[in-house]
Amino acid sequence: MLRTWFGAAIAAAALWASAALADPTPADLVAPSAFDFYVLTLSWSPNFCEANAYKSPDQCGTSNGFVVHGLWPDNANRPDPSGCGFGQDYIPSTVLAGAARVYPSRGLAIHEWREHGTCTGLGPAQYFRAVKYARDEFTIPEKFARPHERFSMPPDEILKAFAAVNANLTPQSMAVTCERGELVDIRFCLTRDLRAFAICPKVARRSCNEDSISIAPVR
């Protein structure tokens, strides 16, 4: 699991939570490009599919709870990189097959590579493996495992639920986003080497400020 320490950070604006996993991150998954931290975004699929099933039949045709939306390079005090075009545009079918084990749809995987993966300095195969590596580090709270009835929860309680089951994760490293009173996603900040949570005021301060938000059941 991820271990935490606090230290000086880029432009004194971000503090990093450091790190010792059971094993080091594979060297080929460590991003060589210059950005400050990653944002791993897990979307709550039932809420998305209630309003957008026609947009993503692959995602909404199966039962999903949290699904990977993306792993995005981000900066503390500079514009966030996007659409960098440093890597190949074409993604081999074998690589996309691997991405299908991470993302809920092929179209989303392609979009995420072109918009965000190309800014990491990794190739598409390595980027998709990095996304899976990051996602596999997280434990989902039992309440969100497979809820069969709609329920509501304050955003800060959602943050506490994730912190309770993920060692050294704090609200300073994540955010809950909402729209029209419903859960959209949860965002987690990670260091570029995927070895730690990054404390990211820029992301955390955008967390939903509703008193309570609605969470649709898994179908």
Q: What is the DSSP string of 99-112?
A: HTTTSS-HHHHHHH
Q: Is the dihedral of CA 147, 153, 155, 157 positive or negative?
A: negative
When mean pLDDT is compared across 69-78, 90-99, 126-135, 159-168, the lowest value belongs to 90-99
Domain boundaries, the chain: 10-215
Please give the average per-residue pLDDT across 127-156, as a whole number: 95
pLDDT confidence band for 123 (50 / 70 / 90): very high
Model confidence pLDDT, tens digit, residues 153-175: 999 999 999 999 999 999 999 99
**For the chain, percent of residues with pLDDT exceeding 90:** 77
When mean pLDDT is compared across 2-11, 173-182, 207-216, the lowest value belongs to 2-11
Domain 10-215: give its CATH superfamily: Ribonuclease T2-like (3.90.730.10)
Q: Is the dihedral of CA 203, 170, 210, 105 positive or negative?
A: positive
State the virtual CA torsion across 101, 130, 128, 219 in degrees, nearest 10: 30
pLDDT at 62: 83
Structure tokens at 106: 């092929």
